[in-house]
Each structure stands twice: as C-alpha cells, then as structure tokens.
C-alpha cells in the first residue's frame, strides 16, 4: 500500500465525475464551496445556487440548524445525514466544535442512534456482512473502493454500550468510533471502514419492527458463529495484511475470547477491554496527584466483572507491579463484584479473565457481613475501605447513597468512576456523588455530564472516555506500520494522558485535559504508542524526525482540495 504523504491532502484531486454524480459523493461534495471555475468545468451550474461559500460559512449554517433542534437524537440524525452528504464539512464542524459535538456523534447519543438506526438509515456507509453472506465475504471486501483501508472497527451489535443487543443497529458504533479516529486523530476517512457482522439478534423489539433493516433471525451462536468470524478475519488478513482491526461492543462471552484468539494473527485490539482500561488507568494516575495515595497503596473496587471490568483491573494490576508490588500483593488490592457478589475462591462460574482477581476467603474471614452468602458492593466498601470505586456494570444508580457515603468514610478523597454508557446506565449521578461525599470525591464518568454545583462553584465533570485513547493508538500504529497491538502500548497511552492532566501543575484542577484538546492528546498518545511499538519489536524502526514526519503526513485537516477533471 502506498504511504500517505503530507502533500496528498493539499494537491489537486483528479476525478472524472461531473454534475450530479460529483455532488452526491460525500467525500467529494463541496456544496456551495465549489468555485465558479469548478462549476464551469464540472457542469455544476444550475445544480447549485449562485452563492460561493467558504467552509467556515457552511459550518456556521449547519451549526445554526443543529442547535435549533429540540432533542439530541434529532441532532445525531442531522449529523449522520451531513456526514453522508458532505463528509469534509461534517469533519470541519466536528473538529472545530469537538466538545459540543462529541456527545452527539458518540456517547451518549449514539446509543439512541443504534436503537433507532433502522428508522433513520438512508445511505450505505461501511459494510453489513450478514450471515447469509457466508462464503462471500472475500468477494464483498474485494471491491476496489476499499483498497486504501487501514483501520476497521467491527461490531456484531450484541452488547451496545449498556443497552444490550441492537442487531444491525449496532452499526452506529463503528461509524461513531471511526468518526472520532478522524475527528480526534486526523486519520483520513478514506482510510477507515466500519463493519457490522450481522449474525441476527435476540432483541424481540427489533425483530418485530417492520422497519428493521437487519437479518431477521435469532443470533447464530457456537461453532456457526465462530466459523463466520473466522471467515471474516481470514478475509481481512488476506485483503489488508497491515490493517488495524478494532473489536467493539461484543458480548462479554465473546469479547475476551475473540481478542485472545486473534491478537497474535493480526494487528488488533478490543477497545471495550483495552481502551477502557487505559483511560481508567490514566485518570486514576491523575487522581494520585490530588489524593497523594501512591498507586501501590490503592485499594480498588470494581462493580462489573465482565470484559471491561477485568480489562481495567488487568492493566491497573500491571501498573501496580511496575510500581513495585509483587503480583500477589497487587492482586490482593482488587475487589471485583459481579452479579453474584464479590468474586471469592470456590465460587462457581469464574472465568479465566476473572481468576487473577478472586479474593481468598481467609483474607476476608474477619469481614463484618449483614448476613452470610454473597457479598454485595456495600459490604465490600464497608470492609475493604477501597480508595477507588469503578463501575462498568451498566446498572443505573448502582452506586447508592449508602455505598458512596461509605466510600467517603473510608478515605479523604474517594475516587469514583461510574463509567457505564450511555448516561441512562451510569452507576451514579455526579451531582449526588459530590453531595454525598461533602465535596471530596474525584469523579470521572463514561458519558458527559453537566458541571456539578458545589459551594457556589461550577466544577466540571471529567468524561473518562476512550476517545482520549483509541484515536491516538490508531494513529501511532499507522505511523510505524505496527504488526501487533501490545498491552504495553495501552499502558503508555494511559500514562501520556495522565502526564497531560491539569493536576500535574494544580492539584485543584480537573483530572483530564479538556475535550477540546483531544487532537493534541491524540498526537501525544500516538507518538508514545509508536515508540512503544518499536520497543516491543512489533513495528518498523525509525528515528524521531522520521516518526514526526509520518505522523504529520497522516493527520488530515478537513479542508477542501481543488479539483481537476480527468477526461
């Protein structure tokens, strides 16, 4: 594959398309920004009103329309339509107003977008690889329009955020994620491809909806499912040997298993497991600047012991070992609570990912319990006195007033991260957490929340969102043509975010850089990830100057290029 060079996005683009065929191509359409000369050459006179606009004027026009809608779902649908009409303008608006638009393009609004994806679907974007297409995936991927693809985000729609099985509607997640690869890290849209593995759905509401666009069939499972995924992965490796494949929103029963199965066959990662872990680790490291409690002295309670909870715990455990603890000492600092309570040895159904975090029964033998049996979150907090409480359970309100007040009794500055998405599934509301802890909590949430009010001040709530991590990881991988994605690459990504925390200079500041700095964060993450990939022996070696040039060449600014007609 030809490497993208810095001047490519600035040189004239040559195309044979004219008239209506040109303006209906999202990546080529300029709308009113076509110059008078281009309108003559490309036969656009009459198709467009006479005014010639700048991209800034177009962005302002779109923002006025966007802000006039009454609901965020309407804004989401409008932005999706803009992306499918004029892709350059869509990204120009997104990049210039990332803080305002991030919650609309991705969490939390993307959840509703997935629920109603069938109702608003208008134009093809990405690929729906449905189970009836088995045996034809290589043929579908072979289309020349996908020759330049470097980054794929794939989902099977089974566990969309905290909303469960959305079937084909899950395509909203790969589309949204890849929008952030471009908006936050500058990876050109032509290099990205969203894919939905449509293996059916068990969501009766979707199946009974006459407008549902997916395959109307219960989910394929077991050997048939695995064979379909294998056909997909094998076809991807054959079609794009150097592609980066990101798994997104697969059910817990498949997420860890598929990552383990394929991570040594191609350059791949699971953002729910590894990206979530990296941003949680980075935010916790930033919180250390405030609390003064060393990483080796943290006690961490996690509600939700699925793929995300275990992924977070695994990365934090490794960070604690790197900081000086033995592995046994680090494991003892974790208290994972699942649907059957605290994970303890002898409990049935413990998964391989959960095994390192099972508490020994003798270690909790002196705990004071309300009654014998399963040990709930409140009892864990009262007895273990954790310094950190992380929620990835999808259970709205699971961090009850009793739990939060118990956290505040055990530590001066409790670190509380209700990370479940969308907002409706968050384990706690930040305003209540602040009140229940008398203003002492350090809060990070998975979805955006309004600032909390405390003692007459507006205190911003840090969105502990993967968008701080995965766009930069992707950019770093592409810059050095990494063959694999290692855990160390995610560790360094989290550390970079922590190093950019405002708390480094002011312990009273917010934990994470503002969202409007995501491009700077992504570039810093990309540099660190690229260097780590080389150190891990999974990427091409290059000096710093070459790396900087490669990164620069890959960062696309959403501006219009001049066009030349090819006859």
As annotated, the active-site residues are 106, 177
Q: Are 79 and 66 within 8 A, CB to CB?
A: yes
Cis omega (within 30 of 0) on the bond before 215? Answer: no
- Give the chain's count of helices (H) and strands (E): 23, 16
Q: Are 494 and 282 within 8 A, CB to CB?
A: yes
Q: Are 151 and 243 within 8 A, CB to CB?
A: yes
* CA-wise closest residue to 148 among 17, 314, 2: 2
Cα separation, 542 vs 344, in Å, equals 47
* CA-wise closest residue to 438 among 469, 404, 462, 487: 404
Question: How distant is the alpha carbon of residue 306 from its chain centre?
Answer: 17
Alpha helices in 69-171 (DSSP H): 72-83, 87-96, 98-105, 109-115, 117-120, 137-141
The label of the residue with tokens 């209506």 reads 20
Cα separation, 477 vs 489, in Å, equals 10
Return left, alpha or beta for 424; rule: phi > 0 is left, psi -120 to 50 is alpha, else beta: alpha
* CA-wise closest residue to 480 among 416, 557, 407, 542: 542
Burial class of residue 343 in the structure, from the number of CB atoms within 10 Å of its CB (0-12 exposed, 13-18 middle, 19+ buried): buried
Q: Are 483 and 267 within 8 A, CB to CB?
A: yes
Report, in angstroms and rounded to the nearest whole number, the Rg of the chain calculated over CA atoms.
Answer: 24
Angstrom CA distances, 367 to 33, 328, 401, 403, stand at: 69, 20, 21, 16
Residue 509 makes CB contacts below 8 A (sequence gap 6+) with 501, 502, 503
Cα separation, 472 vs 492, in Å, equals 11
| Number of Cβ atoms within 10 Å of the Cβ of 499 | 13
Angstrom CA distances, 391 to 115, 334, 419, 421, stand at: 23, 13, 5, 10
């Amino acid at each position: 594959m030809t490497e993208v060079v810095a001047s490519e996005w600035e040189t004239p683009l040559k195309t044979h398309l004219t008239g209506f065929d040109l303006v209906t191509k999202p990546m080529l359409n300029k709308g009113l920004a076509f110059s008078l000369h281009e309108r003559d050459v490309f036969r656009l006179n009459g198709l467009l009103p006479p005014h010639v606009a700048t991209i800034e004027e177009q962005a302002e026009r779109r923002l006025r329309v966007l802000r006039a809608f009454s609901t965020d779902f309407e804004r989401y649908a409008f932005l999706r339509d803009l992306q499918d009409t004029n892709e350059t303008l869509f990204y120009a608006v997104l990049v210039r107003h990332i803080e305002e638009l991030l919650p609309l393009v991705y969490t939390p609004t993307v959840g509703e977008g997935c629920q109603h994806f069938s109702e608003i679907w208008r134009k093809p974007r990405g690929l729906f690889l449905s189970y009836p297409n088995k045996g034809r995936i290589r043929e579908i991927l072979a289309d020349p329009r996908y020759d330049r693809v470097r980054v794929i985000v794939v989902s099977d729609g089974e566990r969309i955020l905290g909303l469960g099985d959305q079937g084909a509607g899950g395509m909203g997640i790969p589309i949204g994620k890849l929008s952030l690869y471009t908006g936050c890290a500058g990876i050109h849209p032509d290099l990205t491809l969203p894919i939905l593995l449509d293996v059916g759905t068990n969501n009766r509401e979707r199946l009974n909806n006459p407008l549902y666009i997916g395959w109307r069939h219960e989910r394929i499972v077991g050997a048939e499912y695995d064979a379909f995924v294998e056909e997909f992965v094998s076809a991807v490796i054959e079609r794009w040997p150097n592609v980066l494949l990101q798994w997104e929103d697969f059910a817990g029963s498949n997420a860890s298993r598929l990552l383990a199965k394929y991570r040594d066959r191609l350059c791949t990662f699971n953002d729910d497991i590894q990206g979530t872990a990296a941003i949680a680790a980075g935010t916790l490291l930033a919180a250390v600047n405030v609390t003064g409690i060393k990483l080796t002295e943290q006690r961490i309670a996690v509600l939700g012991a699925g793929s995300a909870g275990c992924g977070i715990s695994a990365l934090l455990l490794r960070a604690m070992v790197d900081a000086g603890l033995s592995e046994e000492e680090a494991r003892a600092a974790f208290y994972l609570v699942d649907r059957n309570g605290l994970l303890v040895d002898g409990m049935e159904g413990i998964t391989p990912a959960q095994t390192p975090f099972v508490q020994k029964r003798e270690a909790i033998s002196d705990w004071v319990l309300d009654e014998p049996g399963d040990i709930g979150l409140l009892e864990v907090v009262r007895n273990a006195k954790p310094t950190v409480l992380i929620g990835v359970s999808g259970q709205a309100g699971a961090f009850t007033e009793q739990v939060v007040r118990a956290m505040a009794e055990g530590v001066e500055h409790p670190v509380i991260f209700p990370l479940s998405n969308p907002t409706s599934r968050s384990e706690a509301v930040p305003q209540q957490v602040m009140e229940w802890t008398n203003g002492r909590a350090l809060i990070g949430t998975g979805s955006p929340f309004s600032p909390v009010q405390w003692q007459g001040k507006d205190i911003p709530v840090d969105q502990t969102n993967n968008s701080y991590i995965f766009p930069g990881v992707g950019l770093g991988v592409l810059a050095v043509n990494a063959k694999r994605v290692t855990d160390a690459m995610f560790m360094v990504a989290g550390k970079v975010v922590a190093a950019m925390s405002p708390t480094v200079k002011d312990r009273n500041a917010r934990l994470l850089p503002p969202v409007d700095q995501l491009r700077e964060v992504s570039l810093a993450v990309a540099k660190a990830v690229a260097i780590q990939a080389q150190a891990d022996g999974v990427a091409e070696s290059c000096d710093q100057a070459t790396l900087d040039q490669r990164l620069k060449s890959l960062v696309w600014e959403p501006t219009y290029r001049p066009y030349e007609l090819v006859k």
